[in-house]
Amino acid sequence: MPNKTPENAFLARLRGRKSTRSNLWLVYSHKTRSDLILESHQELAHWLLHLEFDPNIVNFWIPGADELYADQRGSRKTRPDVIATSASGGMEWHEVKAGYVEENTVSEQIIVQRQMATDNGATYRLFDESTRLTRRYELMPRLRLMHFVSVSRSQSIDHVRQALLNYVSEAQSGTLGEMLQAYSALPPTHLIASLIQLAIEGRVTLDIEQTTPTRQTRWSARASL
């Protein structure tokens, strides 16, 4: 039996796409504790902006090819791009589109999916270029942040997380530089990775600028910490 590593799954997906021209991304999600294969730049942007770092989303998954949902009569079936659980406990169906979608010219697919989401007890959310354009500058900084999380995923950093939780609870806000100075005996990569994990978990917020992360990057504790 072949070794089903994330890399092998990624290569298999790549070979099966034949002439498809969009990009594939293999990423690690701290929120789901799993590797994800994203099939376009739009899906990558959606993951970074509206899933991984969104404190209103507590969990999500990308339905497999055989995970189909039917309308009330069972005559039509569809597969959402993403199914997410919100902080309030509700279920969301996310549809990610390239380009712009005008509300008065939506396709039959979107109309049907919207109704089927309701039939399945979910809120339907459509994401097109208008949901990404004004936040495009955040993509590379957030991708850089995820590199720290990915590098540290297989390392034991629980003691770093606990020390950082105590620091965040006491200081409430500050900069990355101040945090690194306060814990100079701990590996900087582990400290930064732990802070990003807390941001993904909704425990802290990070200011996102084009140069993030730097020693001047500011963080602050969320009220729920």
43, 88 Cβ separation under 8 angstroms:
no
- Which stretches of 34-101 are DSSP H helices? 41-47
Q: For position 11, what pLDDT does the model report?
A: 58
Name residue 57's beta-bridge partners.
Answer: 86
| Tens-digit pLDDT profile for residues 173-191 | 999 999 999 999 999 999 9
Distance of alpha carbon 198 from alpha carbon 30, whole angstroms: 10
Positions in the chain short of pLDDT 50: 1
Confidence (pLDDT) at 1: 45
Q: What radius of gyration, in Å, describes the C-alpha atoms of the chain?
A: 19
pLDDT attached to residue 4:
63
∠ Cα 58 146 48 (to 5°): 55
Closest C-alpha among 164, 205, 165, 168 to residue 54: 205
Task: Give me the sign of the Cα torsion angle 222, 210, 212, 55.
Answer: positive
The pLDDT tens digits for 100-119 are 998 777 788 888 899 999 98
Q: Are 6 and 125 in contact (CB under 8 A)?
A: no
Instruction: Domains for the chain: give ranges and CATH numbers.
Output: 6-131 (3.40.1350.10), 137-221 (1.10.10.10)
pTM comes to 0.88
Token readout for 142 is 């957030």
pLDDT number for residue 66: 86
Separation of alpha carbons 147 and 27, rounded Å: 9
